Amino acid sequence: MVTYTFQLYCQRIDVTKNMARYYALSMQPTLFGEMAVVRRWGRIGKRGGEKSDVFATDKEAATRFLELARLKRAKGYRPVGTCGNPGN
């Protein structure tokens, strides 16, 4: 079981389109020794949606985490701050 978590918080703001969105990703261990990739999204300042995907291994979870981060970056989302990760 992993003793660390990964987090990513991104925003996409376009004033001309009245767009102010956020997308948050995190990897968290479950109570059963699996790894979950948790996604949260919505309009900045409002409650949005949430979805969790559970994986048997850390490697599978990390692969999905990075894939989702890449897809959001391609859509124009940019990381904000250190995203709560140590060492940044």
| Fold (topology level) of 6-79 | q64v53_bacfr protein fold (2.20.140)
- What SS3 class is residue 76? coil
Kindly give, in sequence order, each residue whose CB lies less than 8 Å from that of residue 48, ignoring residues fewer than 6 positions away: 22, 40, 41, 42
Rounded to two decimals, what is the model's pTM? 0.82
Q: Tokens 């940019």 correspond to what residue? A: 78
Residue 1, both tokens? 């079981």
Q: Each residue of 30-86: pLDDT tens digit?
A: 999 899 999 999 999 999 999 999 999 999 999 999 999 999 999 999 999 765 555
Return the domain boundaries, the chain.
6-79
